[in-house]
Amino acid sequence: MAFPTTVKSRSQCRLVTHDWRGVGHHRSALPRGRRARHCNGPKVPQSLLLPLLLAAPVLLPVAVLLPVPLPAAVAATFSVVSLVEAALKQPPSQFNLARDFKRRYLERFIFSQPRLGAAIKCGARGALTALIWPRFVAPFRWHLRRLVVNIPHLPKSFQGFKILHLTDLHAGMTAANYLQRTLIAAMLEKPDLIAITGDLIDYRPAALSALDGLLPRLQAPAGVWMVFGNHDYHEYSWRHVGARSAHRTIHRRLRAKLQHAGVHVLCNASAAIRRGADSIYLVGLDELWTGRSDAAAAFAGVPPDATAFCLQHNPDAIDDLQAYPWDWMLCGHTHGGQVDLPVVGPLFVPIIHRKYLRGIFELADIRHAKRFALVSTGMGYGLPIRWFVRPESILITLRAGPAAYQWAAE
């Protein structure tokens, strides 16, 4: 008996089944596991079934990576899954597997395996659920970490001095309302000094206007200090411009905006932070990839026995700066890997020395027993996705004592 092209009633729907060969049967003619129920729903041409099946795994990650709201991404992705499900369920009108797919072995295999269609549907929905977290939740799970550091020769007046370390905001790419919320929360700690270690913007015209809602929130008694990162220069691992990047239009406008906002930029320079007769030093180096970094010029004004914090965007410079007098180096750039999968590890880390991925690293000191480098995971993102790497800002409290550090409970 020929397979009907439409089902006119619910009773008729209950009686009709098919076995993926285009042959209709009465309900009692087949075992229970081969019965299928076909009711009204979306109709998809059979010629589109295979492309939908093959495209679903590709569309899922694309849907969650696009800068679209969560409800739209979920609705679009579930629509694709529903179309695949509908195509698998609907009766193949005027379709004969043996005749039309005689030499198309992959399609014949998919059509002849009803359980494969169910597996694709469940897998697609599972993948969607798994990808919602790293796209729409994890990039915004910012937390403020509190770090207490002991410095042997810290001046007494700087006991309890608080430094807020910010890095990799990527304004213009990272959601503006998220950055504003995090900065408001961080400023509640009333830091004495704010240190920004690069990638304040994601190099694009919209980034400059995004700073209008961020820079006024950064206020500290000892000032806001910053070094540039590669995104501030439009310098990337796959696109090397060098010293010419400092003359690009957006970078020059960024410098002007920072100067107007009262942000102090350290490019191969140092500055003394004073409290009465005591002082500590900030040393800032220009971005490593531009070829403009000059450590000798940066440390020229730093006394050998001074307490010094070195600001450097790229942690690849840590090993090159071992001969200079600093107690702590603050870095960013890596985003902590941003996506750090179990067993597999970080998928992309744009540095040579991958050992400096994130965290605190103990190093030998030319003056004392040891010193430390801190690599933060940053606040923003280049792509709106994180997995197993939370965004962060770090509040550093200074204490006098043997060189050591301790994370405070969150």
Strand duo 359-363 + 162-166: pairing: unpaired
Rounded CA separation 396/372 (Å): 13
pLDDT of residue 25: 43
pLDDT of residue 149: 97
**Which residue is it, tokens 């009333």?**
190
Give the per-residue pLDDT at 75. Answer: 63
Q: Could you tell me the CA-to-CA distances from 171 to 147, 210, 350 in Å, in that order?
A: 25, 6, 19
From the CB of residue 143, how many other CB atoms can be counted at a distance below 10 Å? 12
- Rounded Cα distance between 316 and 241, Å, is 19
Compute the residue count for the chain: 410
Q: Output helix, strand, coil percentages for the chain, rounded to the nearest 5.
A: 40, 20, 40
SS3 395: strand
Which DSSP string corresponds to 280-346? EEEEE---GGGT---HHHHTTT--TTS-EEEE-S-GGGTGGGTTS--SEEEE-SSGGGSBEETTTEE
CA distance 74 to 69: 9
pLDDT tens digit at each of 410 positions of the chain = 444 444 444 444 443 444 444 444 444 444 444 444 444 444 545 555 556 555 555 555 555 555 555 566 566 666 665 665 565 555 545 556 566 656 666 666 666 677 776 776 677 667 766 778 888 889 999 999 999 999 999 999 999 999 999 999 999 999 999 999 999 999 999 999 999 999 999 988 889 999 999 999 999 999 999 999 999 998 876 666 777 778 888 999 999 999 999 999 999 999 999 999 999 999 999 999 888 999 999 999 999 899 999 999 999 999 999 999 999 999 999 999 999 988 889 988 889 999 999 999 999 877 767 899 999 999 999 889 999 999 999 999 999 999 999 999 87
Q: pLDDT tens digits for 105-151? A: 666 666 667 777 677 667 766 776 677 888 888 999 999 999 999 99
**Other CB atoms within 10 A of residue 136 CB:** 16
- Under 8 Å between Cβ of 97 and 108: yes
By C-alpha distance, which of 98, 83, 77 is closest to 43?
A: 83
pLDDT at 72: 61
Which domains occur in the chain, in start order?
Answer: 39-137 (no CATH), 143-407 (3.60.21)
Q: Which residues contact 333 (CB under 8 A, 6 or more apart)?
A: 167, 168, 197, 198, 199, 229, 230, 313, 314, 315, 350, 351, 375, 378
Neighbours of 34 (CB within 10 A): 13
Please give the pLDDT value at position 10: 42
d(CA 314, CA 293): 11
State the helix-helix crossing angle for 70-89 and 114-132, rounded to 10 degrees: 180
User: Quick one: pLDDT at residue 50?
Assistant: 54
User: Tokens in use for 33?
Assistant: 């596991």
Take residue 136 and report the two structure tokens written for it.
Answer: 């729409």
Q: For the packed helices 114-132 and 49-65, what is the interaxial angle rounded to 10 degrees? A: 10
For position 178, what pLDDT does the model report? 96
pLDDT of the residue at 105: 67
State the DSSP H helix or E strand holding residue 195, giving kind and residue range, or none if neither.
strand 193-197
Give me the long-range contacts of 22-25 (CB less than 8 A, separation at least 24): 22/92, 22/94, 22/95, 22/96, 22/97, 24/91, 25/1
pLDDT of residue 206: 87
Cβ of 42: how many Cβ atoms within 10 Å?
A: 12
DSSP string, 12-74: HHHHEEE-SSSBEEEGGGS-GGG-----S-----GGGHHHHHHHHHHHHHHHHHSS--HHHHH
- Helix 49-65 crosses helix 70-89 at what angle (to 10 degrees)? 170
